[in-house]
Amino acid sequence: MTKQEKVTFIIDTLNKLYPETSIPLNHKDPYTLLIAVLLSAQSTDVGVNKITPILFEIADNPYDMVKLKVEEIREIIKPVGLSPMKSKGIHGLSKILISSYNGKVPISFEALESLPSVGHKTASVVMSQAFNIPAFPVDTHIHRLMYRWGLSTGKNVSQTEKDAKKLFPKELWNKLHLQIIYYGRNYSPARGWILEEDSITIQIGRKSVLKEYHKKTLKK
């Protein structure tokens, strides 16, 4: 298959499997999405969704959040990990939203990425899912699958994002990145991967990846 044929096959397969895509992080507006995505760094969505109802019951907007001490935020979010950095980030960005943006989340990559603890991936998720502006946030699942599918070198997430944006139509980015995440979790995980259940990789996978998989399987 050519790269373009691979892209068409991926899109068609994912649309059949995931015709509708909901955001896996519970939220109600751009602010709560921003906080949830920030919390999800090196954490699972399931873990974050257990914590955010507790946090958002106390503070679901920047004005209430800054009333809390950093230590209080840290105590609530401790189960998701990296709580010292994340609690400072949440408190700090909430102060900036109030002082610079009238308490609203800005609709700008530059503005979002200037906020404490907000990197490019977090900004991309907020822009795409809160404001419907085309973006292609690359998480570990997308990074892994773009390499397995022979669509990116896998050197770093920045390169993977550039490659994905070149290959996939812009109007599909916001839905497609979620579809790939769901597919990675369900059919092509990093651990416990069963190639026979992975209908995309078994068809278009990078030859070296398939060879390594079969080599490991024969050893078992």
- Which residues belong to the active site? 121, 139
Nearest to 32, CA basis, from 55, 13, 12, 9: 55
Residue 212 backbone phi and psi in degrees, to 5: -65, -40
- Give the Cα separation of 108 and 186 in Å (integer): 32
- Give the Cα separation of 133 and 127 in Å (integer): 5
Residue type, 133: I
Classify burial at 207, counting beta carbons within 10 Å of its beta carbon; exposed 0-12, middle 13-18, buried 19 or more: exposed
Q: Would you say 20 and 182 are in contact if contact means Cβ atoms under 8 Å apart?
A: no
Distances (CA, A) of 175 to 134, 168, 187: 9, 11, 18
Distances (CA, A) of 197 to 76, 108, 143, 170, 176: 39, 40, 19, 29, 20
> What is the torsion angle, in degrees rounded to the nearest 10, for the CA atoms of residue 86, residue 118, residue 34 and residue 24?
-90
